[in-house]
Structure 1
Amino acid sequence: MSAGRVAADPPNEGFRRARTPRTVSDGHLAGTFRRRSARGWSVRGRIVVAGLAGLLVSGCAAEAEPVAVPPPAPIAVDVAASSSGGACRLLDFTVIEQLVKVRFDVAAASERVDTYTCVVRAESASLPELTLSVTDIKIDKATFAADVVPDKAAKVTGLGQQAYRRTVAAASGHGPVAEVGWLATEGRLATLSWTAARGVERSAAEKLIGDLIALAKKVDTRAL
């Protein structure tokens, strides 16, 4: 605190005293001595504190450097297909794996006009992929048979009001496609298709049709 008073003294005070000599009493001299003594103690106090601070710094420098600890590894958390919303609410990764024998862990939903679509695939590969589409329209069996069922498609029993199955040859960028389509009990149109990776034979898609039909029977389009 005394050091603050030293800095606060007017810079020209000494010049005024030298220019205007006056008689100094013993009491005034003693007071001056006491003030200077107090300032002297303040300076010495700062020197002592600075010395202690130096010892503390040198002591800290002697301590061992901190060891960097690597961050913990990220934990993989399984997310349900239904969390993507839309038509993905009608699919379950576990059920798909049980019936189709392939593990999927990524799902993406989209909506266009009255059609809701969900695509599921493995995070490590873009193919194969499974696609579910549900169109929110009301049609009857006659319209379904005449306008929806593809040429050369085979009939499927026990699925909705009416259903079909077919395979499509491989095309640029992907392998063959297995497809199941049906008219749901409430009149909605649904299709479930499997797109294989390039190089897969069409016969493999044919063998998958049975599993795809079993999965289609698990889809409750009324829940959309």
Structure 2
Amino acid sequence: MRRVLLAVVALSATLAAGCDDAGASPAAQASTAPAAAAGGACQLLDFGMVNAKLGLNLSIAAGASMDNTFSCVLQAAGGSYPDLVLSVSTTSIGADVFGSDVQPKDAQTVDGLGLVGYQMQTPAAEKAGPGVEVGWLAGNKRIIKLSLRLAPGNADDKAAEAMPKMIELAKLIDLSSL
């Protein structure tokens, strides 16, 4: 189980690091292709749906897969943030193990999301603003994590405002992952 979690974290970090502005060539152009064309967990996302729910203008997608984990990063053209990261891993655990071993200790429960779900705010990091995270155990035996990181300089209340929107988006993704 911990290997699955480490794979999710490593793959998400690799994707996010690959989208950093440091040492970048000319700014990436927005794709006219659907997010699903990027592969990985991007197959569960649609730019229109995500942007409508979150009030963002994300237009670049990068997908990846490793073993039983699929990830996707969505970003706006020309910047690293905001970004949305989705990771999906197959599992054999039940709701009790998810709640005790996967869900962060300081997270709050989200009713009506998968078999069991959680939400939590994440603090600003060195080069990124605050964020929110929603995770759940889907009915089809998948651990799904959806994270939004805002641009540096955003206040924590902006992340708090995004939480209900992220939960709505997570519920749509949960339905599409069945």
TM interval, shorter chain, is 0.7 to 0.9
5+ residue gaps, structure 1, are 1-75
Matched, 1:169 2:110: no
TM-score of the aligned structures, taking structure 1 as reference length: 0.63
User: Contact between 1:121 and 1:130, CA under 8 Å: does it hold in 2?
Assistant: yes
- The corresponding residue for 2:64 is 110
Which of 160, 166, 174 aligns to 1:212? It is 166
Instruction: State the identity %.
Output: 36
Q: Shift in Å at residue 113 of structure 1?
A: 2.3
Identify, as 1 or 2, the structure richer in strand: 2
How many matched pairs?
A: 147
Taking a change above 3 Å as real, the CA distance of residues 173 and 137 of structure 1, as seen in their structure-2 partners, is same
What CA distance in whole angstroms lies between the structure 2 residues aligned with 1:171 and 1:82? 29
User: Contact between 1:161 and 1:185, CA under 8 Å: does it hold in 2?
Assistant: yes
Matched, 1:147 2:97: no
User: Contact between 1:88 and 1:107, CA under 8 Å: does it hold in 2?
Assistant: yes
Matched, 1:136 2:136: no
When the two chains are superposed, the root-mean-square deviation of aligned CA atoms in Å is 1.2
Q: Secondary structure at the match of 2:84?
A: strand
What CA distance in whole angstroms lies between the structure 2 residues aligned with 1:77 and 1:115? 24
What CA distance in whole angstroms lies between the structure 1 residues aligned with 2:135 and 2:86? 10
- The corresponding residue for 2:177 is 221
TM-score of the aligned structures, taking structure 2 as reference length: 0.79
Give the counterpart letter for 1:191 in structure 2. Answer: K
Q: Secondary structure at the match of 1:208?
A: helix
Give the counterpart letter for 2:37 in structure 1. Answer: S
Q: Shift in Å at residue 112 of structure 1?
A: 2.1
Residues 158-185 of structure 1: CA distance to partner in whole angstroms, max 9, x if unpaired? 1101100001111111011200000101
Taking a change above 3 Å as real, the CA distance of residues 77 and 207 of structure 1, as seen in their structure-2 partners, is closer
Give the counterpart letter for 1:161 in structure 2. Answer: L
Matched, 1:90 2:34: no
User: Contact between 1:105 and 1:123, CA under 8 Å: does it hold in 2?
Assistant: yes
User: Contact between 1:117 and 1:133, CA under 8 Å: does it hold in 2?
Assistant: yes
What CA distance in whole angstroms lies between the structure 1 residues aligned with 2:74 and 2:137? 22
With CA pairs under 8 Å and 6+ residues apart, which has the higher RCO, 1 or 2? 2
- The corresponding residue for 2:134 is 180
Q: Secondary structure at the match of 1:123?
A: coil
What CA distance in whole angstroms lies between the structure 2 residues aligned with 1:121 and 1:146? 32
User: Contact between 1:134 and 1:221, CA under 8 Å: does it hold in 2?
Assistant: no
- Runs (4 or more) in structure 1 with deviation over 6 Å come to none
Q: Secondary structure at the match of 2:151?
A: coil
5+ residue gaps, structure 2, are 1-29
Q: Shift in Å at residue 111 of structure 1?
A: 1.3
What CA distance in whole angstroms lies between the structure 2 residues aligned with 1:77 and 1:154? 36
User: Contact between 1:79 and 1:105, CA under 8 Å: does it hold in 2?
Assistant: no
What CA distance in whole angstroms lies between the structure 2 residues aligned with 1:112 and 1:195? 23
What CA distance in whole angstroms lies between the structure 1 residues aligned with 2:125 and 2:177? 30
What CA distance in whole angstroms lies between the structure 2 residues aligned with 1:162 and 1:150? 13
